[in-house]
Structures are given as C-alpha cells and as structure tokens.
C-alpha cells in the first residue's frame, strides 16, 4: 500500500493502482450503481489531457520531458490499455470532478511508470490550464459527437426503407382511420410516404442539434474567465485537439455562458425525445395494423421473429415494435432527467452534467440499436395484405363520402344507414336503387376517386335524393 493525502486527509491506496486518492473517495462516496463512467467520456478526457500537454509545452509552461511522459501515457490509454483503472461511477457528485481526477491520476502515475525519471503531479501537470468545469462538458460533447454518425446513419437507413415501401405499395388502397374509426380511404404508398417525411424531419433536427454540440468551453477553466490558462493555450488548444480527433470543435462565443448553461444538452435531448415520440407512434401503428391476424385489422404482415406464447400454440407477437416502444419510453424518461438537471444549475456552474451525459449517451445508443432492429427485423420484410385492405375499403360505408358533392350530406348519411342495416355496401345499394348513373357510380368508387381530390366540380343533382 501507499499513502496519499488530499485536503480531506490521508488514505491508503493499492501500491499497484494507477488511480489515486480522489478516485478512491469517489468510489466510496457514490455507491449508486455498478455502472462505470462511459468509456467514450474517458477516452475524450484522455484526448484533452494529451492535447493540453502538447499545447502547454508549446506555450512554455510545461517541460518537454513532462509533455512527453503525459503523451506517452495517453497514447497507451487510448489504445485500451489499463482500462480497469477508470473506476469512478457514472452517477457522481461534484460536476464531473471525480471523472476528471480519475483520468489525471491515471495519466500521471502511468507517465511516471513509463519514465521513472519524470515525476508528474495530477493537478499541476496533467490538469494544467484546465478545470473539470471545462474539460468534463467538452469531453461529454466529444463523446456525443463520436456516437452521432451512427445514430444519424440509423435514421437514414429507416428513411430509405420507408421510401422503398412507399414505392412498393404506391397504389395499394386502404381504409383511413381517425380516432380508430373508419375514415376516407388512402393508400399504403401515402402512409409510408408520411412516415418517410416524419423521420426525415427527425434527421434534420438531430443534425442541427449535433452541430451545436461542437461549441465547447475548453479554455474557460473554472467559470469561463480562463483563469490559470495562458492566452496561447486558449487560442491553440482546440486546434491541437481537432487535429487529434477530427471533431471540428469550436470555441463558444461566450465561455462564461457555455460553462454555466446546458441548453445545448437540452436541445440535443429534445431532438432525441422527438425522434422517440415519433418512433413509438410508428411502432403503435405497426402493432395495430398487424393485429389479429384473424380477429384484428390484419392489414400488415410483420415478419415472424419468435414464438409469442408459452401456452397458446402458434401465437406470434409483434416483438420488434414492442422493444422499440420500450426504448422510446426510456428515452422520453431520460429527457425529463436531462431537462430537470439543466434547470437545476445555479449561478456559474451546473453540477449535474454527469447524469445528463450518462442519459444522453445512453439515448444515442438505444435509439440507434432500436432503429437497426426495426429496419432489419421488421420493416424490410414487412408486407401488406392487399386483399384484406381492398375488402375493407369495399365494405366501409365511409367511402360514401365521395357522394356528398352529388347527393348532399344528409342524403348520403341516410344511404349509409340503410346500407349498414341491409349489410351491403353503399355502392351495391346505389346500383340497386339507380340513384346515379352506373358509370358515374363506378367512377366515384374507383381507387383514384376515393383517394384523390375531384378533378372538376360535381353537378348539383341533390334533388334526385
């Protein structure tokens, strides 16, 4: 064992451990769960330490030997070595200080181990020109940006799959439904086209919110004033960091604002929440339209992925939309957490970024994987029951809506009631009673007429009623 000391007192630390006293205190103080800090945040913090060492050496505030030791340690950590040294919990007090210090301690001790002639101090050397208050949120944004291409790619895959289905079923007529009751007909081409546009908007929202995450407060140190950082460091740190990461980070216009306010996290969370709302609504529609198959709507045939019951033979459930629904519930709940955490910030700093970043990173992963399984295991092999759809349209009395310009609303209502009482279609009743010319009836009840605006004004023949 070795003894380390901080402002609280002394603690024994495992002699072989790369972490130090601050890390041990964090593990003891935050026994909330076994969930560790996200590896992407750790990797991003390491990238910041490496870039800071290079920048500080160029600024003349860090010796070449120390810079080389820090960079050597960071390079080892960036390829995954000593990953078990990062043990602070994901949910932690202190605005991320424990996460930052865990990295500072590991880099310092590993650098010394790699070059015993160089003694590195976690705060003075590894953390030089930095504060947790600018490194931790910057690392969080870096982590989110690294995951974002996967999320955007998953949305793009979903959008393209819906476009294919829209083209495949362009002319497949179906009953429209409002408030779960029959409405005028539409086509599955238009239905899938509407979903296509819905998720294209989600793609645009997330792209915009992602661009805003590139604005960081690195160089602002404790509260955004840049105290203890050199001018050289402030103007060069992002150049070095961008060269190493290719993330195109930019200095926020107001570092004090960027240090204390978390609205960009709320914006990004809101874009993911909106995507989750839309995905859940879409999944609800898939489950409802595929319900049955005998005693439900039965319009969609979802791929059978697994047995659905331990007691009912042959039962198959819509398990893919169901899992997507559950992911969406989680994402929406996490958005509430992010919202409350951002709102709870006080004065020059928000102390609750750890929970925000934990939930935002989880949401990115959940949504990406949910859309992957939705496309792969459901949408690509989904088919439409064209026969059932056509039969439903033929039997739906609401198709009589096309008669109102010719017969009027009240007369058409009476026709619908009589057709339903006689258990025949409105079209059959019209042909039987010869209310309108047969050619006109056939034209009015054609798929084109039922699903598109009228080409010309209907003649007023309501007196025939």
Residues with a catalytic annotation lie at 309
Residue 204 burial (CB count, 10 A): 12
For residue 174 the two structure tokens come to: 């179906």
H or E element in which residue 338 lies? helix 319-343
Indicate the angle between helix axes 188-212 and 263-289, nearest 10 degrees.
Answer: 160
Between the alpha carbon of residue 148 and those of residues 172, 282, 341, the distances in Å are: 36, 22, 22
- Cα 210 from Cα 207, distance rounded (Å): 5
- Cα 120 from Cα 191, distance rounded (Å): 63
Length of the chain: 465
Yes or no: say if 342 and 265 are a contact pair by the CB < 8 Å rule: yes
Cis peptide before 309 (omega within 30 of 0): no
Yes or no: say if 37 and 86 are a contact pair by the CB < 8 Å rule: yes
Q: Are strands 173-178 and 181-187 parallel, antiparallel or unpaired?
A: antiparallel
Number of H helices, E strands in the chain: 17, 8
For residue 432 the two structure tokens come to: 């039987």
Yes or no: say if 66 and 115 are a contact pair by the CB < 8 Å rule: no
- Would you report the helix, strand and coil content of the chain in percent, each value rounded to 5? 65, 10, 30
């Amino acid at each position: 064992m070795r003894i380390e000391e901080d402002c609280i007192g002394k603690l024994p630390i495992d002699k072989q451990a790369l972490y130090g006293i601050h890390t041990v205190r964090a593990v003891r103080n935050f026994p909330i769960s076994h969930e560790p800090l996200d590896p992407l945040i750790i990797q991003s913090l390491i990238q910041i330490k490496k870039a800071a060492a290079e920048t500080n050496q160029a600024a003349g505030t860090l010796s070449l030997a120390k810079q080389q030791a820090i960079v050597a340690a960071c390079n080892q950590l960036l390829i995954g070595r000593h990953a078990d040294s990062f043990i602070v919990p994901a949910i932690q007090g202190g605005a991320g200080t424990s996460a930052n210090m865990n990295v500072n301690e590991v880099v310092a001790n590993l650098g010394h181990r790699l070059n015993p002639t160089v003694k590195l101090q976690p705060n003075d050397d590894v953390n030089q020109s930095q504060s947790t208050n600018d490194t931790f949120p910057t690392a969080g944004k870096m982590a989110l940006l690294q995951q974002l291409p996967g999320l955007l790619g998953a949305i793009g895959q979903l959008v393209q799959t819906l476009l294919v289905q829209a083209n495949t079923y362009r002319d497949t007529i179906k009953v429209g439904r409002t408030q779960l009751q029959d409405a005028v007909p539409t086509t599955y081409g238009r239905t899938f086209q509407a979903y296509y546009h819905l998720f294209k908007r989600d793609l645009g929202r997330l792209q915009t919110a992602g661009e805003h995450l590139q604005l960081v407060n690195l160089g602002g140190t404790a509260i955004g004033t840049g105290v203890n950082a050199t001018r050289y460091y402030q103007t060069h740190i992002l150049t070095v960091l961008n060269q190493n990461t290719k993330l195109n980070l930019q200095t926020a216009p107001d570092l004090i604002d960027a240090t204390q306010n978390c609205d960009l996290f709320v914006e990004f969370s809101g874009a993911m929440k909106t995507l989750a709302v839309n995905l859940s609504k879409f999944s609800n529609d898939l489950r409802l339209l595929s319900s049955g198959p005998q005693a439900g709507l039965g319009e969609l045939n979802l791929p059978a992925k697994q047995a659905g019951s331990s007691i009912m033979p042959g039962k198959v459930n819509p398990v893919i939309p169901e899992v997507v629904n559950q992911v969406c519930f989680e994402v929406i709940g996490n958005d509430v957490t992010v919202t409350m955490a951002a709102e709870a910030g006080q004065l020059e700093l928000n102390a609750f970024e750890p929970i925000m970043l934990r939930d935002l990173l989880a949401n990115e992963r959940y949504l990406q994987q949910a859309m992957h399984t939705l496309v792969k295991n459901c949408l690509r092999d989904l088919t439409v029951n064209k026969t059932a759809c056509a039969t439903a349209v033929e039997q739906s009395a609401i198709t009589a809506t096309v008669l109102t310009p010719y017969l009027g609303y009240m007369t058409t209502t009476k026709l619908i009631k009589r057709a339903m009482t006689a258990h025949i279609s409105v079209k059959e009743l019209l042909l039987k009673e010869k209310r309108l010319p047969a050619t006109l009836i056939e034209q009015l009840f054609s798929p084109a007429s039922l699903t598109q605006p009228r080409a010309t004004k209907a003649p007023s023949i309501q007196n025939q009623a």
